[in-house]
């Protein structure tokens, strides 16, 4: 590419850079707590492919059980497969805004962790179904067929939020943005610890222990940023944050509890089918918390 104008011949130092430029050339540290969380994320890093898969035999379950447990992982993957691009977008924002270095690293660690969670979903689903994905899989049982319809509706609902999110990222401050993640991180940290304790299968105990720890760190990142930024919020930001926390709760309630009707566009028998799948999974030793 030819340069429009050669400045280097006319001045000794380059001119001031237009802001925001995407990256800072500095590594400012203000929030010590975030530095500690980053260190923990390096220590606690795990690889889903290296868990005890050799102890896991899907054929020890009936097809109905396999389809129901895979349904739960699919439910989780509707969220965990959307998390990497969501946090990657937020990571770019931390660079554009020249956030302090540990904030940039913490958002990088969340992006990396969430992709691990997505990979864990992939491994569990493909082994349980003996197929590449839950969407093109041909269900073998009646409940499996209904579960797949649930999946398709959930996926449709989840997809509706991406464009809205992309538009929101440049508009709001990081403080407002992470408030919408907060509910998810708190609830996720709780549910995965319960599942680690209630699952009989070793591979799932291992996965939920790791995922629970990761989500605990994500929650701590959100909390540290809140402590840093919330004392200086404008009134307008405050009211947006209240709405965001509620929206975050409603979005995640599909996996953490049950999807509320005013927010999720789902068929009438959705909850009934989901409860049946959860009951079958629970009876097969897959520890989904009780209603």
CA distances, 127 to each of 61, 122, 152, 269, 272 (Å): 12, 8, 20, 27, 26
Task: Find the shortest distance in angstroms from Cβ 284 to Fe ion.
Answer: 23
Task: Find the shortest distance in angstroms from Cβ 188 to Fe ion.
Answer: 6
Q: Which of 66, 146, 217, 218 binds Fe ion (CB under 5 A)?
A: 218
Stretch in the footprint of Fe ion (CB under 5 A) among 125-133, 207-215, 266-274, 279-287: 207-215
Cα separation, 253 vs 17, in Å, equals 44
Stretch in the footprint of Fe ion (CB under 5 A) among 24-32, 44-52, 217-225, 236-244: 217-225
The nearer residue to Fe ion, 80 or 89, going by C-beta atoms, is: 80
The nearer residue to Fe ion, 41 or 143, going by C-beta atoms, is: 41
Q: How many residues bind Fe ion (CB under 5 A)?
A: 5
The nearer residue to Fe ion, 101 or 114, going by C-beta atoms, is: 114
Cα separation, 248 vs 79, in Å, equals 12
CA distances, 65 to each of 265, 276, 281 (Å): 27, 11, 6
Cis link prior to 20 (omega < 30° from 0)?
Answer: yes
Task: Find the shortest distance in angstroms from Cβ 83 to Fe ion.
Answer: 6
The nearer residue to Fe ion, 27 or 257, going by C-beta atoms, is: 257
Q: Provide the 8-state DSSP code for 27.
A: -
The nearer residue to Fe ion, 122 or 146, going by C-beta atoms, is: 122
Site for Fe ion in 98-117 (CB under 5 A): 114, 117
Task: Find the shortest distance in angstroms from Cβ 108 to Fe ion.
Answer: 13
Q: Which residues contact 232 (CB under 8 A, 6 or more apart)?
A: none
Interface with Fe ion, residue 213, by CB under 5 A:
no
At residue 159, φ and ψ (nearest 5 deg) are: -70, -20
Closest CA to 192 of 76, 71, 46, 42: 76
Cα separation, 287 vs 278, in Å, equals 9
The nearer residue to Fe ion, 112 or 140, going by C-beta atoms, is: 112
User: Tokens at residue 252, please?
Assistant: 């995640």
Site for Fe ion in 38-97 (CB under 5 A): 80
Residues that bind Fe ion (CB under 5 A): 80, 114, 117, 215, 218
């Amino acid at each position: 590419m030819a340069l429009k104008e050669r400045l280097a011949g006319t001045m000794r130092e380059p001119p001031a850079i237009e802001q925001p430029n995407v990256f800072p050339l500095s590594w400012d540290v203000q929030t010590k707590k975030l530095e500690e969380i980053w260190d923990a994320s390096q220590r606690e890093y795990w690889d889903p492919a290296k868990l005890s898969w050799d102890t896991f035999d899907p054929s020890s379950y009936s097809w109905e059980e396999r389809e129901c447990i895979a349904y739960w992982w699919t439910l989780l993957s509707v969220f965990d497969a959307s998390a990497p691009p969501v946090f990657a977008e937020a990571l770019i924002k931390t660079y554009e805004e020249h956030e302090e270095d540990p904030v940039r690293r913490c958002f990088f660690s969340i992006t990396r962790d969430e992709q691990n969670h997505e990979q864990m979903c992939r491994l569990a689903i493909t082994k349980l179904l003996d197929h590449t994905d839950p969407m093109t899989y041909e269900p073998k049982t009646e409940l499996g067929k209904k579960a797949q319809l649930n999946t398709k509706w959930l996926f449709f609902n989840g997809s509706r939020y991406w464009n809205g999110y992309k538009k929101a990222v440049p508009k709001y401050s990081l403080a407002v943005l992470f408030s919408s993640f907060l509910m998810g991180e708190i609830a996720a940290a709780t549910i995965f610890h319960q599942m680690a304790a209630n699952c009989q299968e070793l591979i799932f105990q291992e996965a939920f222990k790791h995922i629970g720890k990761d989500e605990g760190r994500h929650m701590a990142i959100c909390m540290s940023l809140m402590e840093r930024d919330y004392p200086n919020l404008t009134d307008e930001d405050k009211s947006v944050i209240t709405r965001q926390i509620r929206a975050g709760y409603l979005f995640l309630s599909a996996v953490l509890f049950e999807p509320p009707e005013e927010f999720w566009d789902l068929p009438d028998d959705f909850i009934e089918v989901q409860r049946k799948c959860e009951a079958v999974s629970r009876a097969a030793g897959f520890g989904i918390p009780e209603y």
